[in-house]
Chain A
């Protein structure tokens, strides 16, 4: 475990030094600041409007960040040949996947927290109330971001970064559809589509912003289940990545 943690620390340092990551972070922060200007134009009920738009920006920023963090990790390691000495020292392939993912997940969560703080500052500066449960809602967005990162990392073993981004984006959209919308993609096979929808992860599980915007309390049991749901799908995705990578020849 210490080896994996050492490797994930190296991954954090590597990712934190990439300009593209800071670019995504800065763009999202700018979007949040821009959303903070909305009350100036007198939009009705601007408090929940700012929160709704802000958290949507955070979710989208999380998706873009996950792609930026994960899509190039394996192809880049392979291209620079660092992969060979890494796997020649006692770092197993499972250790490689875990270390890279944990490092990426750390950056993903840190950025989500940073955006959450930025959104809170924007709301407080505008005199808007920050609802209870705001941080819980942001934490669930962080879990969602980590799951998306696991998808990007898993795809990274099979497809190039330019293909990884649209595939992840497509997956995100599909996993955000409700049951009826999903079935309507292929209305001729409602049973099979219904089963497939059930098996797919649902991004809606991580969205509690509507509840907190309207002053509802989010039950701790639901939050715990949502976290377990995200962790389970993340582990499943990483297991698939391991199955794909463990027996692969590194030519």
Chain B
């Protein structure tokens, strides 16, 4: 097996249907890899199997079949989990605790040295300066999300698994989260980012995997996914009005000739790049059909 941060091969998981004996597939033969030091975007519509995959990575779910390795070892092993950081989706911690108390207890459970100064610095980094001693019942949803990030970063993890980390955050907070993701990646951490926010994935990720109905329907580097080899974009002006159209490569020259014949002035002919949203919708709609 290749030496990578995370390797998933032919992962399958079925869930029992409520009140019945039949089981429905949540994941069917999902395979992908996350190289060391890489940021991988994990995309998919609701119910695609993203959280199921994450729970398999964390050892919280046992796959029915397939091989899953984190740094070359089974995900449930304590040595592996010591290198993991996890930011859950919509956490709702015990609200009688304070962020500093949580950081202190998690540090003890992880067996790492803890000091109030270090915890306050970490809270400052995630935007919770001055809130360390406040009970969680007084904190907003976004603040609890920031605490989740602080808890995940506490051990300087080699692999950061994030499940919709910026869901429910305002744009400013999202940018702060993105900056922290890039900082963590900059120090060498591999990032597995599950997100609905396509612009976020487009901004920070090196590669993306798109999941639909429990199957991988597209994957690759963002350049590969966004570039359409067959489509070219022609920008032109005609009678003082600007226009553009996308044309298949095979018909490109004919279309340019036709536009010129109609009196249009060709401004630019360039390879057509799609948005991640186009790629996402094409891939997931294609899978649904």
Contact = CB atoms under 8 A, between A and B. Distances in A.
A2 B114 CA distance: 14
B93 A88 contact: no
Contact of B60 (A17, A90, A91, A250): A250
B198 interface: no
Interface string A3-34: 10011011001100110000000000000000
A251 B61 contact: yes
Interface in A220-251: 247, 249-251
8 contacts: A6-B105, A7-B105, A14-B96, A85-B91, A87-B59, A89-B86, A90-B81, A91-B109
Contacts of A9: 105, 108
A82 interface: yes
Contacts of B148: 85
B91 A88 contact: no
A251 B78 CA distance: 21
A177 interface: no
Interface string B46-85: 0000001001001111100000000000000010011010
Given A80-B92, A84-B60, A13 B97 contact: yes
Given A3-B109, A90-B82, A81 B96 contact: no
Interface in A145-192: none
Contacts of A79: 92
Contact of A89 (B90, B101, B109): B109
A158 B37 CA distance: 41
A85 B59 CA distance: 11
B60 A85 contact: no
Contact of B108 (A6, A85, A87, A247): A6
Interface in B11-36: 15
Interface residues of A, number: 27
A92 B78 contact: yes
A89 B59 CA distance: 11
Given A3-B111, A250-B55, A89 B61 contact: no
B111 A2 contact: yes
A81 B88 CA distance: 8
Interface string B101-115: 100011011110000
B62 A247 contact: yes
Contact of B109 (A82, A84, A90, A251): A90
Contacts of A88: 58, 60, 81, 84, 86, 161
A251 B59 CA distance: 11
A24 to B, nearest CB: 17
A249 B64 CA distance: 11
Interface in B85-139: 86, 88-94, 96-97, 101, 105-106, 108-111
Interface in A49-94: 79-82, 84-92
A86 B155 CA distance: 14
B40 interface: no
B62 A89 contact: no
Contacts of B52: 251
Given A81-B90, A89-B110, A10 B61 contact: no
A3 B60 CA distance: 19
